[in-house]
Chain A
Amino acid sequence: MCHLNRSNGEPPATKVRRVWVWMACCAAVAAAPASGSALAQAPGDRIGDAVPRDVREMYDRGLKFLLKDQADNGEWHGQGQSGPGVTGMAVMVLLASGEDPNFGLYSGQIRRALRSIIRGQDPNTGYLGNSMYHHGFGMLALAEAYGAVDDRDLWEGADAEKGRSIGQSLELAVRAALTSQKKNPFGGWRYSPDGNDADTSVSGAVLVGLLAARNAGIEVPDAAVDRAIGYFRSMTSQSGQVGYSGGFGGFDESPARISIATLVYAVARRKDLAEYQATLRHLVGELETQPNSYINYARYYQAQALFQGDVGAWSKWNAMLVRQLKSEQKADGSLEGEFGADVDTALGLLALALNYRFLPIYER
């Protein structure tokens, strides 16, 4: 088990299989570095008991709903928004289920989805499309799949074309993100890759994707990460509140943005920052605070931020999340929200997926 950190832009020659299932994970633990590992969680780090039955059932119902909405070309065009970001979220939901991504129940769906993300990528710029939100979530999905999904046969049987590998696509996507950031005076990102201002919401999506790529072994220059973190620090108040966009809004009670900042500080391994302490303190102090709009978006980040920062607080928050989702999930397994059932279901399930902790980005 090793990570490749190649700087020549070439994808790793050898496919690295990351291990998803629990037993394999146990076997792999001995080889795992102490930190920054792309490995699944070591058993000793797991908190609490086995995943409760009601959580598994909720997750499976939601999955079933999402699978029903996948189009033949691998995308999600069902209900609400669509694009590579949405496809990416769905890929992560499938990966987080714990099923073997190569031989398990959903391997076919995962491959189809990944092919659609790669197929939609601009071969020259690496831009995954639609907006930098989609780019960020698409990149994150590629990073999470990279090394886990055996892509030697990714394109086999799929049309006649032979597309890029996951690694190639991920490297391209990283380059696109870096190029966009270079042009950005704030060191962050905005909806358009050419945007000349930034907001903490889009920036969070892209930066988490970059950090996940870095964790997966793709080279991401430290300077780029530092610059993006610098942008987030500039948007974080002493009280731990996080602004949206320079010049607009100001600080207010946004659990989503506070969580995004906490998460990027943590995944960038900058828990030493005072801003990280402030945002985490704010989050833990306002555990019950939830927005009334874009709730699943907030939950998605809140779950990860709390898990990264304070497992005890996450555990309490998670109990509330499970209770709420139980009452909110519809009979068909979907969750409702402003983004449409596909995105909101995916985000809600990914918040819940912290209970499984199969996604590399969920590692502490």
Chain B
Amino acid sequence: MNHVRRRPSVIRSFARAARRFARCAVLIALAMPRGATGQPPVFVPAPKISPSTSPPDADRSITVPVARVESGGGIPGSLCPIAEPDRIAWRSPLFEEPFVFPIGAITAVEFPSPAPVKPSGEFCAVLTAGDLVFGSIRDFNETRFTIDSPRLGRLAFSRERLVRLTRWNDGSSVVFQGPNGLGAWRHEFDDSRWYEEQSGIAAQHPGASIFGDVSLPAQARIELELSWNGQPWQAKPDFVVEFGASPDREERAAPFTLEVWEGKLVAQRETERDGDVRVVDGLEDGAGRVALEIFLDQSQGRMLVYNASGAKRAELTVPDSAAGPTGMRMTNLSGNVRLNRLIIARWNGTAPPESPGTASQIRRASGQYLDGSVRGYDPASKAWVVHREGGREDRVPAEDLDAISFGPNDQQTPVEGAVSIACQDGTRVTGALLGVSETEVRIRCAGSTEIVPLPLDGVRMIQRVAPADTRSEAKVARAARLEHDGWSTRGDLRDTPDGADGLAWQPIGSLTTARMRPDGACRIVFREHPAASDPYEGIADQETGVTGFFHRLFRSSGPTGSGPPATRLAIHLRSGDCIPCSEIALIDAERVRFRSELVEATQVPVGDLQAVILGPSHRPSHGDASDPLDGRPDGNPFDDSFGASPEAESAKLARLLTVPRLQRRNPPTHLIVSQAGDYLRGRLIGMDVRGVSIELRLETTLIPRDRIAGIYWLRPDADGGTYAGDSQDASVSSPSAHSKTAGPRVHAVRADGTRMTFDSARVHADVLHGASPRLGACRIELPLIDELVVGAAIEEAAARLPVQQWKLTSAPDPSTLVAEGQTPRLAGTDSDLVGRPAPSFELARLDGAPFRLADERGKIIVLDFWATWCGPCIRAMPVVEEVVGRFADRDVRLYAVNLQETPEKISAFLERRRLNPTVLLDRDGAVAAHYDAVAIPQTVIIDREGNIARLFVGGGPELGEQLRAALEAIAGTSTP
């Protein structure tokens, strides 16, 4: 026995250092958001645990029955009867018929379990393969034993399967028996969880930690079996099992622990005053297993650890004044670990002697070991026949025996059979699956000849133990992914069988197809969207930028998506549909008329429209004030710095969608985008061969069609998200009488961005056919589809489209009104920036000279933030120039900070307006951002000390007077 005894303080610091180093690393990793590094916080490659690695979603707890499939993922649903052996028939609520899987294609069928149930029975028989059967012994001889199980009935097993018999007495002395799934445990970190594997629970992520209140008695006997996988060259397992743990990780507790130190399994405890650590066992490289019996006396602070053969491996005594909590915590620090068995029983405090080490160990209720081997059982007298040394036979009353171990049988030794069935009460049997009825699953247990009809009520899991069916592995990569109810599985949409209707789906591994129910809701992904490859892709994906939006729209509006087609005509509907058209003839007050190869309809009501794409849009390189598309008198705000940065884009988008206060009751209803890339807000009157009629400032203007890239419908914010489907405009009738099709409503998304919503009818020769009340007959080729959204998920998906984010918002009201009776605050002092040092900056002047705010210290600086497109700025500018001019002799200087426009445009504007301020060029709006200039005009006065003295927003008739008064106060009456 390997003892390490050190001075407590040394032990404490050693223990702390070792433990905390390991935990910190793991916990820091857990605390780090995944986005922060771009990598999930996994430090070591997760090792494989046989027979197969845990599938995705394996650590997911379930709330409905789920069939986990070998190809990955799971199908929520219900088990259906099937007479054939080694088959699982599984019905998903999405489908009309059940799928039939060979057992090799299923990993497990799981049912949500209520609170754990304590099994009844006199004995607990531990069998190979982790099986557990509770009941009373009926018969026992050299080759067979028979057990009467309240749950399974009478069952005879071959003797080789028996590992151990323990007195159970209906679990009267047992306080916890498991693990029996994860029901009794709580995950402490959501992104690294334990999961159920074979008959145990396992963890393979660093830091995966679970806590369970196992009602640990003050004096407890704990049977524990842990195992781990790995190759000899891999790191050894590293875990901590705490007995007497507090539910709160942070709370100071002094649990007894089993943990790994420098490749050795140790038992240790550390309190405020004392500490001790003992080596239990060295750990071999590679896979391993440890079965221990632990006697824990928390009142005495004593822990005894015995191995499976009954040899004492460690004893430590570290008393603590406070009684420990009753919980257990298990944390995986690296590698992997699995808890196969955990039985916690009350203990009388008497330490058992070490066993004699014979093959069959018999322990009496008194704790003493009995020499000899069990030969038989007499049910009549309820006595065991024990063969003693010297040929003597003793009859030992059943109640006098506590446990019998039968030689070196490994509990985990695999046995013949296809499935292992775990029940809520902990019963677990492995054997051949013979069939499933409405209420029972029939199984022939390994080592047994009887067929057990096991009631499905009470079954927690049917787990495949036979080798996986690998024939379908190659298909997985090519298959589509069906997502439903938070679960996903791989499979294929098949041609609808002749004579049938609807959509036929076949999951990988299933022997059958099933028709999707018309009311189903799911998503089928045929191809993930390709990775971002061009510089605007990222912006588009953010779904905010102006460019991103249009880029995405235009990228998606061509009929094939391969290069810019000659003409790109498309209509976008509020439903999220985008239909490529060969012709768009007319838009009037009621409808748009078009032709498309994909749909039968030739018109849709304008109420359903989101946008009409008439041609390509080019990023402009310069503004053209004479452009008839430009409704503003002084040019286009988006021309020169378009695409500068995502911030600038979103600022522009926000501006584009903001309705000025005075236009609130008459907001623009449409946005026209020219092929030159200009934007115009107004009200669409209609479109015909001559062009597009649009009302601008209550005047009607006709714009030639070939100038226009697209027309977008703007809807007020209040209308946002209320669109519930096609409008019921009866005046624009549907193309043909629409009758409900056999399949569900689908929303098909093509790689080129085409999106179509219709009621699916069937798949024939790789073409999905259907019909829509609005679009008539629809057809779309399956190989071109990236994604198919089915049922109720359609509206959800449509609402996430960037175009749906385009909502007009009202400009905020000024907060200038002062309630009656209040003393009005000094004008220009509302901003939080007032009184703070002015953010320093350097900008180029319009004449090319550099400007540094720091150089102006000692002067009073007036910064007037403006742009040529801002009417109020233009009105305020002469006023500001005039007022500041009056203070020129007092070192007051005016700088007009232009927001994001080109020098050429600014010069032309100033010339036209006969203005002559010193202009600074804030090309990317960074300085405006520093000065919180979210609305312009904004006029800022910086005093001689370099602090912001006043900040006026919005100009207005009072600005001149307010500015004058402020400068009087700040500049004083004479030049210093």
Name A's B-contacting residues (CB within 8 A): 250-253, 287-292, 295, 316-317, 319-320, 323-324
Show 29 A/B contacts (Cβ-Cβ < 8 Å), sorted by A.
A250-B957, A250-B958, A251-B957, A252-B957, A253-B662, A287-B697, A287-B698, A288-B666, A288-B697, A288-B698, A289-B662, A289-B663, A290-B662, A290-B663, A290-B664, A290-B665, A290-B666, A291-B662, A292-B661, A292-B662, A292-B664, A292-B665, A292-B813, A316-B698, A316-B699, A317-B698, A319-B698, A320-B698, A324-B665
Bound-state Cα–Cα, A324 to B663, Å? 12
Bitwise, B654-669 to A at CB < 8 A (1) or not (0) is: 0000000111111000
Bound-state Cα–Cα, A45 to B157, Å? 111
* Distance to closest chain B CB from A280 (angstroms): 16
**Interface of chain A, main secondary structure:** loop
Interface size class of B (residues with CB under 8 A): 10 to 19
Query: Which residues of chain B are near A289, meaning CB under 8 Å?
Result: 662-663
Q: Does B956 contact A (CB under 8 A)?
A: yes
Bound-state Cα–Cα, A291 to B661, Å? 8
Bound-state Cα–Cα, A324 to B698, Å? 13
Query: Which residues of chain B are near A250, meaning CB under 8 Å?
Result: 957-958
Bound-state Cα–Cα, A287 to B696, Å? 11
Find A252's partner among B697, B698, B813, B956 (CB 8 Å cutoff).
Answer: B956
Give the nearest-CB partner of A285 in chain B: B697
Bound-state Cα–Cα, A323 to B698, Å? 12
Query: Which residues of chain A are near B662, meaning CB under 8 Å?
Result: 253, 288-292
Identify 10 new A-B residue pairs, CB closer than 8 A, beyond the known A250-B957, A290-B664, A291-B662.
A253-B662, A288-B663, A288-B698, A289-B662, A289-B663, A290-B662, A290-B663, A292-B662, A292-B664, A319-B698
Bound-state Cα–Cα, A288 to B958, Å? 23
**Interface of chain B, main secondary structure:** loop
Query: Which residues of chain A are near B661, meaning CB under 8 Å?
Result: 292
Bound-state Cα–Cα, A316 to B697, Å? 9
Query: Which residues of chain B are near A323, meaning CB under 8 Å?
Result: 666
Find A324's partner among B666, B813, B957 (CB 8 Å cutoff).
Answer: B666
* Distance to closest chain A CB from B700 (angstroms): 9
Bound-state Cα–Cα, A17 to B269, Å? 111
Bound-state Cα–Cα, A252 to B814, Å? 14
**Contact yes or no, A295 B956, CB < 8 A:** no
Bound-state Cα–Cα, A166 to B958, Å? 46
Query: Which residues of chain B are near A319, meaning CB under 8 Å?
Result: 698
Query: Which residues of chain B are near A288, meaning CB under 8 Å?
Result: 662-663, 666, 697-698
Bound-state Cα–Cα, A295 to B665, Å? 9
Bound-state Cα–Cα, A251 to B958, Å? 9
Could you tell me which residues of chain B, from 497 to 533, have a CB within 8 Å of some CB in chain A? none
Lowest 6 A-B CB distances belong to which pairs? A316-B698, A289-B662, A290-B665, A252-B957, A287-B698, A250-B957
Query: Which residues of chain A are near B664, meaning CB under 8 Å?
Result: 290, 292
* Distance to closest chain A CB from B561 (angstroms): 39
* Distance to closest chain A CB from B589 (angstroms): 12
Bound-state Cα–Cα, A256 to B662, Å? 13
Give the nearest-CB partner of B698 in chain A: A316
Bound-state Cα–Cα, A291 to B662, Å? 6
* Distance to closest chain B CB from A297 (angstroms): 14
Bound-state Cα–Cα, A292 to B956, Å? 16
Bound-state Cα–Cα, A288 to B666, Å? 7
Query: Which residues of chain B are near A320, meaning CB under 8 Å?
Result: 666, 698
Give the nearest-CB partner of A287 in chain B: B698
Bound-state Cα–Cα, A320 to B665, Å? 9
* Distance to closest chain B CB from A338 (angstroms): 14
Bound-state Cα–Cα, A24 to B93, Å? 75
Bitwise, B936-976 to A at CB < 8 A (1) or not (0) is: 00000000000000000000111000000000000000000
Query: Which residues of chain B are near A290, meaning CB under 8 Å?
Result: 662-666
Bitwise, B782-815 to A at CB < 8 A (1) or not (0) is: 0000000000000000000000000000000100
Bound-state Cα–Cα, A268 to B663, Å? 31
Most interface-central of A251, A252, A288, A323 (chain B CB within 10 A): A288
Query: Which residues of chain A are near B957, meaning CB under 8 Å?
Result: 250-252
* Distance to closest chain A CB from B582 (angstroms): 34
Query: Which residues of chain B are near A251, meaning CB under 8 Å?
Result: 957
Bound-state Cα–Cα, A288 to B665, Å? 9
Bound-state Cα–Cα, A136 to B662, Å? 28
Give the nearest-CB partner of A319 in chain B: B698
Query: Which residues of chain A are near B699, meaning CB under 8 Å?
Result: 316
Bound-state Cα–Cα, A252 to B956, Å? 8
Bound-state Cα–Cα, A295 to B664, Å? 11
* Distance to closest chain A CB from B872 (angstroms): 10
Give the nearest-CB partner of A286 in chain B: B662
Bound-state Cα–Cα, A290 to B697, Å? 13
Could you tell me which residues of chain B, from 693 to 717, have a CB within 8 Å of some CB in chain A? 697-699
Bound-state Cα–Cα, A287 to B666, Å? 11
Give the nearest-CB partner of B958 in chain A: A250
Bound-state Cα–Cα, A321 to B359, Å? 101
Bound-state Cα–Cα, A319 to B698, Å? 8
Bitwise, B261-281 to A at CB < 8 A (1) or not (0) is: 000000000000000000000
* Distance to closest chain A CB from B793 (angstroms): 33
* Distance to closest chain A CB from B808 (angstroms): 14
Give the nearest-CB partner of B956 in chain A: A252
Query: Which residues of chain A are near B665, meaning CB under 8 Å?
Result: 290, 292, 295, 324
Bound-state Cα–Cα, A317 to B666, Å? 11
Query: Which residues of chain B are near A295, meaning CB under 8 Å?
Result: 665
Query: Which residues of chain B are near A287, meaning CB under 8 Å?
Result: 697-698
* Distance to closest chain A CB from B548 (angstroms): 31
Give the nearest-CB partner of A327 in chain B: B665
* Distance to closest chain B CB from A228 (angstroms): 25
Query: Which residues of chain B are near A252, meaning CB under 8 Å?
Result: 956-957
Could you tell me which residues of chain B, from 807 to 829, have a CB within 8 Å of some CB in chain A? 813
* Distance to closest chain B CB from A243 (angstroms): 10
Could you tell me which residues of chain B, from 654 to 698, have a CB within 8 Å of some CB in chain A? 661-666, 697-698
* Distance to closest chain B CB from A251 (angstroms): 5
Bound-state Cα–Cα, A323 to B589, Å? 13
Give the nearest-CB partner of B664 in chain A: A292
Give the nearest-CB partner of B661 in chain A: A292
Query: Which residues of chain B are near A324, meaning CB under 8 Å?
Result: 665-666
Bound-state Cα–Cα, A253 to B956, Å? 9
Bound-state Cα–Cα, A292 to B661, Å? 7
Give the nearest-CB partner of A318 in chain B: B698
* Distance to closest chain A CB from B878 (angstroms): 13
Bound-state Cα–Cα, A295 to B662, Å? 11
Give the nearest-CB partner of B813 in chain A: A292
Bound-state Cα–Cα, A250 to B697, Å? 27
Query: Which residues of chain A are near B663, meaning CB under 8 Å?
Result: 288-290
* Distance to closest chain B CB from A133 (angstroms): 20
Could you tell me which residues of chain B, from 608 to 664, have a CB within 8 Å of some CB in chain A? 661-664
* Distance to closest chain A CB from B717 (angstroms): 15
Bound-state Cα–Cα, A290 to B698, Å? 13
Bound-state Cα–Cα, A252 to B665, Å? 19
Query: Which residues of chain B are near A253, meaning CB under 8 Å?
Result: 662
Bound-state Cα–Cα, A224 to B49, Å? 103
* Distance to closest chain A CB from B957 (angstroms): 5
Query: Which residues of chain A are near B698, meaning CB under 8 Å?
Result: 287-288, 316-317, 319-320
* Distance to closest chain A CB from B699 (angstroms): 7
Bound-state Cα–Cα, A8 to B57, Å? 99
Bound-state Cα–Cα, A295 to B663, Å? 12
Query: Which residues of chain B are near A292, meaning CB under 8 Å?
Result: 661-662, 664-665, 813
* Distance to closest chain A CB from B669 (angstroms): 10
Give the nearest-CB partner of B669 in chain A: A323
Give the nearest-CB partner of A316 in chain B: B698
* Distance to closest chain B CB from A357 (angstroms): 21
Bound-state Cα–Cα, A295 to B698, Å? 18
* Distance to closest chain B CB from A130 (angstroms): 22
Query: Which residues of chain B are near A291, meaning CB under 8 Å?
Result: 662
* Distance to closest chain A CB from B8 (angstroms): 77
Bound-state Cα–Cα, A320 to B957, Å? 28
Bound-state Cα–Cα, A98 to B698, Å? 29
* Distance to closest chain A CB from B289 (angstroms): 76
Most interface-central of B663, B665, B956 (chain A CB within 10 A): B665
